[in-house]
Amino acid sequence: MTRLITILFTALLFSGSLTAQEIDKHEMFRKMMTTIEGIKTLSFRLDKTERIKGKMMPGAQDVKLNASPFKAYLKIHIPNKGAEVLYIEGANKGNCKVNPNAFPYMTLNLDPDGDILRKDQHHSVKELGFKYTGDLLNYVYTKYKSKIDEFVTINGEIMYDGRKCLNVTLTNKEYNIESYTVLPGEDILKIARKLRLDEYALLELNNMKDFDDVKAGQSIKVMNSLCKKIEMYIDMETFLPLYQKLYDEKGLMATYEYTKLKINPHFHAEEFTEDYEGYKF
């Protein structure tokens, strides 16, 4: 009987019937990580704006993902309408298959971290989905766990893409720019991933053009966390951050909007091949 009561209470705790004020902030982050760990496949539309050289650049794409091994198919809407990208972990020598839907009108094999695919992008195709985002947020949560009640504000409830969400703001009141000494074998990408930082923002912070413009022993500037402030709409059913608006010391850094989200949809194996019906590789 006691076990039944406990189960019913737990179900009630995470039901959408609770108000924003009744949500425990620590449990909110734990629930987010639990959902992310359970994602095997994912489909969604991602609309984004990212600050590139001082200008907010738009982007939009439909995405299919397989978590392990990591596979991703993208159909681009903005900026290169009709372009397609296919990435499969461990295949094609680590390169993406790319249909640019423009000159040279042929399928290309491109490095996901190379200059062409990373042009005007904060992140690579390998970082799509909630696993990467969740890792960044969990790192911030773990680092400032004792101050979460002070740093996190639940502003109320909001409907977003037909889902009841929590309107949440996380403000790092200790946000700062610090010095970091580059270790042997490191570049900006490796440093950003180690410190859970936005890769392009780190490049911009140091006025560098390329991710390999550093050498061992060099002192560079780094942020002490992902961003100074992040505004999120967190789905009250899945606890995924469907809307994210990030700010740094300069102001708005990026926005990411996930819509048409499907968790663990069934994909045919052929949907992650270049020969799948409807693809134009």
The neighbouring-strand residues paired with 233 are 167, 243
Task: Report percent pLDDT > 90 for the chain.
Answer: 89
| Per-residue model confidence (pLDDT) at position 3 | 43
Mean pLDDT of 233-248: 98
Phi, psi of 75 (to 5 degrees): -115, 115
Residue 20 pLDDT class (50, 70, 90 cuts): low
- Give one DSSP letter per residue of 177-229, joined into a string: EEEEEPPTT--HHHHHHHHT--HHHHHHHTT-SSTT---TT-EEEEESSS-SE
- Give the global pTM: 0.89
How far is 136 from 49, CA to CA, in rounded Å? 19
State pLDDT tens for residues 91-104.
Answer: 999 999 999 999 98
How far is 124 from 198, CA to CA, in rounded Å? 11
Residue 102 belongs to some domain of the structure: yes
How far is 16 from 237, CA to CA, in rounded Å? 6
Residue 270 pLDDT class (50, 70, 90 cuts): very high
Contact 166, 157 (CB under 8 A): yes
| Per-residue model confidence (pLDDT) at position 15 | 43
Q: SS3 helix, strand, coil % of the chain, rounded to 5?
A: 25, 35, 40
How many residues are recorded in the chain? Answer: 281
Mean pLDDT of 103-132: 93
Residue 49 belongs to some domain of the structure: yes
Prior bond of 104 cis (ω within 30°): yes
Structural domain total, the chain: 1
Q: Strands 71-78 and 84-88: what pairing? A: antiparallel
Q: Which residue has the tokens 């570049």?
A: 187
Q: Which residue has the tokens 């195709």?
A: 125
Residue 13 belongs to some domain of the structure: no
State pLDDT tens for residues 172-212.
Answer: 999 999 999 999 999 999 999 999 999 999 999 999 989 99
What mean pLDDT, rounded, does the chain reach?
92
Residue 219 belongs to some domain of the structure: no
Residue 198 belongs to some domain of the structure: no
Q: Strands 251-263 and 241-248: what pairing? A: antiparallel
Domain range holding 232? 18-175+225-272
The neighbouring-strand residues paired with 159 are 164
Residue 207 belongs to some domain of the structure: no
Mean pLDDT of 121-140: 94
Residue 220 belongs to some domain of the structure: no
Look up the CATH number of the domain holding residue 113. Answer: 2.50.20.20
Q: Count H helices, E strands: the chain?
A: 6, 13
| Per-residue model confidence (pLDDT) at position 120 | 87
The neighbouring-strand residues paired with 209 are none
Residue 218 belongs to some domain of the structure: no
